[in-house]
């Protein structure tokens, strides 16, 4: 389903991109097979633990929120998903950040994927596994145009570059949810981060 937002922003959501058997199997594989880390990020100049676990793979380093993720090879599972996402979207993604939300108290604050290393036209794709979580999109200017989508197990959401220029997105806390969710967010990193 295509969601056309303000200022040229487009979000494509395919709810059944993976069938339930494949999605469940992949979730189990990733949960036990990735080197999960609980890292700090810098917010307002202070380090705080991220409210989720992360893993990643990519050809180049990727920096966000004051931390740099060094290059790390794709596991066979991640490589399979990467190949299919690239094929279906036509985008040559080369990095995946995997977020593990242990329950509804884990979250992702509103942000834009607009790091310089992603270039001027960053397309971002996310595959969801496990519990259904709310995905919020909030315009950078004004209140009108806020969107909330339900990301179910096996879904694929693709945001065009205008989403990063004109919207912020995130996963809010949902205390009633007790099950885990794993998301795989694919980006095309053009170059290694430069020193500030």
pLDDT at position 143 is 67
CA nearest neighbour of 196 among 47, 42, 37, 38:
42
What is the predicted pLDDT for the residue at 195? Answer: 58
CB-based contact 88:16 (threshold 8 Å): no
Residue 179's pLDDT is what? 98
Among candidate residues 109, 95, 128, the one with its CA nearest the CA of residue 15 = 128
Q: Where in the sequence is the domain holding 63, given as residue range(s)?
A: 2-187
Query: Is residue 17, in this structure, part of any structural domain at all?
Result: yes
196 occurs within a structural domain: no
The domain spanning residue 123 has which CATH number?
Answer: 2.60.120.590
Residues of the chain with pLDDT under 70: 143, 195-196
b/e sequence 125-159, b meaning 16+ C-beta within 10 Å: bbbbbbbebebbbebeeeeebebebebbbbbbbbb
| 194 domain residue, yes or no | no
Query: What is the tally of structural domains in the chain?
Result: 1
8 Å CB contact between 160 and 116: no
- The per-residue pLDDT for 138 is 95
């Amino acid at each position: 389903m295509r969601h056309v937002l303000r200022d040229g922003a487009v979000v494509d959501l395919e709810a059944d991109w993976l069938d339930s058997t494949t999605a469940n199997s992949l979730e189990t594989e990733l949960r036990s097979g990735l080197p999960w880390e609980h890292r700090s990020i810098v917010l307002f100049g202070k380090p705080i633990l991220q409210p989720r676990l992360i893993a990643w793979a990519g050809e180049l380093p990727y920096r966000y929120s004051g931390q740099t993720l060094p290059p790390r090879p794709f596991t066979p599972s991640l490589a399979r998903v990467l190949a299919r996402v690239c094929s279906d979207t036509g985008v040559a993604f080369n990095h995946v950040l995997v977020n593990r939300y242990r329950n509804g108290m884990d979250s992702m604050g509103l942000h834009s994927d607009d790091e310089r290393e992603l270039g001027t036209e960053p397309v971002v794709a996310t595959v969801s596994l496990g519990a259904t979580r709310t995905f919020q999109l909030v315009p950078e200017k004004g209140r009108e145009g806020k969107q909330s989508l339900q990301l179910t197990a096996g879904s694929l959401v693709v945001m065009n570059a205008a989403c990063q220029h004109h919207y912020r997105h995130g996963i809010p806390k949902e205390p009633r949810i007790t099950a885990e969710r794993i998301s795989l967010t694919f980006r095309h990193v053009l170059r290694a981060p430069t020193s500030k």
